[in-house]
Amino acid sequence: MAVAAALTATGAPAAHAAKKPTIKVADGVTQPVFSYQNAIREFVRVQSSVDSDGDGKKDLIRVDIIRPKETDAGLKVPSIIDESPYYDNLGRGNEGERKTYDANGNPAKFPLFYDNYFVPRGYAVLQVDMDGTTKSDGCPTSGGASDVLGGKAVIDWLGGRAKAFDAQGRPVKATWSTGHAGMIGKSYDGTLANAVAATGVKGLDTIVPISAISSWYDYSRMNGVIWFKGEEDGLAQVVDTDPPAKCAAVQQRLTQGQDDATGNYNAFWNERNYRTGPIADASRVHASVFAVHGLNDLNVKPSQFSTWWAALAKRGVPRKVWLSQYGHVDPFDFRRDVWVDTLHQWFDHWLWKLPNDIMKQPRADVEVGPDQWATQSDWPAPHTRQLSLRPQADGSLGLKAGTGVGTYSDTKQAEDDAVSDPTTAKPYRLAYTTPPLKTDVRLSGTPRVSLKIKLDKPTANLGALLVDYGTDTRVNYLGAGSGVKTLTTQDCHGESTATDDACYYKVVTDTVTSDVNVVTRGYLDAQNRTSLSHPSPLTPGKTYTVRWNTLPQDYRFKAGHRLALVLIGTDADTQDDDATGAAVTVDLAGSQITLPVIIGGSLSTPSFSAQQKWRGPTHVVLPKQPRQFR
């Protein structure tokens, strides 16, 4: 329903619609005029286009719905959708909320605040059990076609293009729907939003992917190096709460397809590539995108966002982004009030078509220090320049090409050992540092490493760490809460019932004061230097030039700090891969790291103060973190 048809310019109901229920708009946003207590709570089962469990029947996708009761009296509303595989296992949000149901099987509690806040403002909220999880049919496929097409079917049903059935198996239509929908969610949920949008499905007007995947290969691998072994079958086991035998055959296909033996890209991974894949492709996205990502997220790495963002920009997709210094954290848990207000404006603009100023605001919000946010017109920051820094024989990092060689071995090493005391020679790393910086240097974008090397074996894992040496207080993204601490007090956003309250524990930023910080990381299996699908082993003793990107970052190296490039082999803190033991010889004259930077707020060439000796010790907070899928 178009807002103009329901409202006058002053927000009063139009005369011809006076007898019909309408939304209320004030101060440019929808107002909470519909009862949450009396809202309709129901479920349907939408027929997907696939049969993921091979039982001869197309999978039925469980959709739990809450909508204003006025939608049974002529009000048509848009839908906010959170599709998730986690509703009956890991739960949703910082407090791990799960769905609950009443005696008739209808939803009683919807996790998270979306229903409490948006239903009173004239939205339906749909929580969809991903294909193969909770109360949906089928088998989960860790990002595969059935995961994606189940969500697409829900959008099609809202638009009258797919079938659904009620609890008695009778066909049911979404007569209350405007046909306009948005998808939102963190991690796997946001990943599904990306994927469904990339099918180009009609009626999906916007998505809000939070810490979301855009390519599952890059979730489990980086340039042939293995982040996680057993990832795809392991995750499917976590989210599938059916008896193991039901999906055993699917599990076996996941185990084989992920190919942990090589780390190579193949057809399995291509199916799960939403940037250029056969099921989902960023070129088909017409929905607007409001992305949120932690630049220190070591679960869903920030390259998942940056590559997706670049593809959307190329297509001219309307978009907005928040980039934080946290790890795998929802913005509801680090910038709560601003997040709720901004999300409200976003959905009002894209789903109710209200003419607010959300798209006139700066496109990017970037956290530049703990709880310090800046806005800019885009990301990466405009006016960056490419600065190439080159390793020198004396262990410094400078502007001119170096001379000589450095040698280290590909062993599996913890990062705290690799970055401690950069002036001391260690057999498993090479470290090169600038003198103390005379002015601030801001990195914004994706660094690129280029090394001229030779090996004594056919391959090696090559790693590059960009490091900040200098005492500072930073977001403790490696801590137990990925940068946040949960308090014992609550605040509320929306309306509550006895079974579903709108109140959540407050959070604060967790900081740590340290002398050194690994700013970003990047890895390459040398035999994948020219192709991720077809490895080319190196000839021992022969010289090669290899290039790869690190993870993206937006970070300020402060004046007086030293910037460093540390070259390593296999990273014990981030990789499940095995080291090769190869000796890596680096020709310094042909090696560099190139950084997109802004120097001291200008584009001038940086200058460094006189070289100073390392004064150690360091303090590196880098505990081995268990992987948290949600």
**pLDDT at residue number 18:** 54
**E strand map for 439-569:** 441-445, 448-455, 461-475, 484-492, 503-509, 511-525, 544-549, 553-557, 562-568
At 19 the pLDDT is: 75
Chain centre to alpha carbon of residue 533: 24
Flag whether pLDDT at 608 surpasses 80: no
pLDDT of amino acid 308:
98
**Which residues fall within 8 angstroms of residue 530, CB to CB, at 6 or more apart?**
536
The larger pLDDT score, comparing residue 3 to residue 238, is at 238
Q: How far apart are the first and last CA of the chain?
A: 35
215 is catalytic: no
pLDDT bucket at 164, cuts 50 / 70 / 90: very high
328 belongs to the catalytic site:
yes
Q: Which of 177, 187, 214, 303 is catalytic?
A: 187
Q: Which of 205, 297, 330, 348 is catalytic?
A: 297
Cβ atoms < 10 Å from Cβ of 539: 11
DSSP string, 556-583: EEPTT-EEEEEEESEETTT--PPP---E
In tens, the pLDDT along 224-260 reads: 999 999 999 999 999 998 999 999 999 999 999 999 9
Per-residue pLDDT at 560 exceeds 50: yes
| Residues 276 and 306: beta-carbon distance below 8 Å | no
pLDDT score, position 197: 98
Cα angle 413, 416, 418; round to 5: 50
**Mean pLDDT for the stretch of residues 137-155:** 98
What percent of the chain lies above the pLDDT cut of 70?
92
Closest CA to 152 of 63, 212, 90: 63
pLDDT at position 452: 98
The alpha carbon of 379 is separated from its chain's Cα centroid by a whole number of angstroms, namely: 16
- Are 484 and 509 in contact, with CB atoms under 8 Å apart? yes
pLDDT confidence of residue 630: 61
Query: What percentage of the chain carries pLDDT values higher than 90?
Result: 92
Residues 516-541: tens digit of each pLDDT? 999 999 999 999 999 999 999 999 99
Number of residues written out for the chain: 630
pLDDT at 14 over 70: no
Residue 443 has pLDDT above 80, yes or no: yes
Residue 600's pLDDT is what? 81
Q: 271: how many CB neighbours lie within 10 A of its CB?
A: 19
pLDDT at 313 over 60: yes
413 in helix, strand or coil? Answer: strand
Helix (H, G, I), strand (E, B) or coil at 520: strand
Active site annotation includes 324: no
**pLDDT tens, position by position, 96-132:** 999 999 999 999 999 999 999 999 999 999 999 999 9
| 439: Cβ contacts below 8 Å, ≥ 6 apart | 559, 599, 600, 606, 607
Residue 250 vs residues 140, 142, 268, 272: alpha-carbon distances, Å: 8, 10, 13, 15
Structure confidence at residue 629 (pLDDT): 52
pLDDT in tens, 200-212: 999 999 999 999 9
Instruction: Tell me the average pLDDT across 60-65.
Output: 98
Q: Where does the pLDDT of residue 135 fall: very low under 50, low under 70, confident under 90, or very high at 90 and above? A: very high
Does residue 615 carry a pLDDT above 60? Answer: no
**CA-CA distances (angstroms) from residue 413 to 45, 306, 526?**
50, 28, 18
Q: Give tens-digit pLDDT for 324-357.
A: 999 999 999 999 999 999 999 999 999 999 999 9
Whole-number mean pLDDT of the chain? Answer: 93
Query: What is the average per-residue pLDDT within 358-378?
Result: 96
Annotated catalytic residue within 137, 214, 293, 328: 328
Answer whether residue 610 shows pLDDT above 80.
Answer: no
Residue 15 has pLDDT above 80, yes or no: no
Note whether 570 and 463 are within 8 A (CB). Answer: yes
